[in-house]
Amino acid sequence: MVNNDLKAKAEKILKTAGFNSTKAQIFILQELLKAGKPLSREELAARLGEKCPDKVTVYRIMERFCAGNLVHKVYLSNRAWNYELAHHCDEKQCHPHFTCNNCGETFCLTGLFLPMVKGLKKGFVVQRQQVRIEGLCPACS
Q: How far apart are CA 137 and CA 53, in angstroms?
A: 33
Residue 108, Cβ neighbours under 10 Å: how many?
A: 20
For residue 120, tell me if it sits in a domain: no
Q: Does the residue 119 lie in any domain?
A: no
Question: Rounded CA gap, 43 and 109, in Å?
Answer: 20
pLDDT for res 73: 82
**Could you report the per-residue pLDDT of 31-71, keeping only the tens digit for each?**
999 988 888 888 898 999 888 888 888 889 999 998 888 88
Number of domains comprising the chain: 1
Is the residue at 141 inside a domain? no
128 or 107, which is more confident? Answer: 107
Spatial separation of the C-alpha atoms in residues 126 and 111, rounded to whole Å: 23
pLDDT at 136: 96
β-strands 71-75, 81-85 pairing: antiparallel
User: Is 108 a member of any domain?
Assistant: no
Closest CA to 34 of 85, 109, 107, 90: 85
Q: What is the CATH number of the domain that holds 72?
A: 1.10.10.10
Say which amino acid occupies 80: A
What are the CA-CA distances from residue 10 to residues 2, 34, 73 (Å)? 12, 11, 19
For residue 97, pLDDT beyond 90: no
Nearest by Cα to 34 from 75, 58, 1: 1
Which element (helix H / strand E) includes 110? none
Given this model, what pLDDT does residue 78 score? 63
